[in-house]
Every structure is written in structure tokens, then in C-alpha cells.
Amino acid sequence: MAHVLAAATYSFAGFQRLLKEAAFRHELIAFLAVLSLFAIMSVPAWSYAAQAVLFLVLVAVEALNTAVEVLVDRISPEYSEFARHAKDLGSFAVFCLLAANGIHAVGAVFFL
């Protein structure tokens, strides 16, 4: 039980750190806006579930991207190509999940 409590404490600390990121706050606001739009448009329940899963994957990738950025900034405070590549790849991963979230949201609203 102590391990579960410790893991939950670390996870909550990670969530608090992620809340400091403007991009994450924007993604959270967009998710809430999409859920509101879903309610207005009366989309099926499975679309809510699919959007929630996509959002959780986005949050996970955003957290990993932030972790990469923090580590790269610590390891290489000056400009370097490897640092730029690492940050660009993390950013691309987030972009892909943003696109997946957007595609699903548009599809659920306009094509169901």
C-alpha cells in the first residue's frame, strides 16, 4: 500500500508540474470546449469515451515531451543540434496527438 501511495504522490506532483505548462492548460481548455460542443450536438456516448482516451494519450505525450525538454535543457543549456532535434521530435509527437484529437472531434460533430 505504501508503494501505491508513493506512486500516486509522484503522479500528482507530475500533474502539478504539467499545469505550469501553457500548452497543457490550452489543451485542457480545448478538451473541455470539445466536451461542451459534444453535449450541444448530442454526440453518442462512445464519442465522449474515445475523446477522453485520446485526450489522456495527449496528456501522457505532453508530459513526456515536457520531461524531454527539462532534461535537454539541463544536459545542454547552450544551443546544440541534438537538443533541437530532441525538442522538435517531442513537439511533433504532441502535434500528432493534437491532430488525432481534432480529427475525432470534427468527425464526431459533423459526421455522426
Euclidean distance between CA atoms 32 and 35, whole angstroms = 5
Asked if residues 44 and 112 have their Cβ atoms less than 8 Å apart, the reply is yes
- Does residue 62 have an active-site annotation? yes
Q: Which grid cell is 53? A: 482516451
- CA angle, residues 58, 60, 61, in degrees to nearest 5: 65
Q: Which of 27, 62, 69, 78 is catalytic?
A: 62
Work out the end-to-end distance of the chain between its first and last CA atoms, rounded to an integer number of angstroms.
45
Q: What does 40-81 look like in DSSP terms, one character per residue?
A: HHT--HHHHHHHHHHHHHHHHHHHHHHHHHHHHHHH--S--H
Catalytic residues, which ones? 62
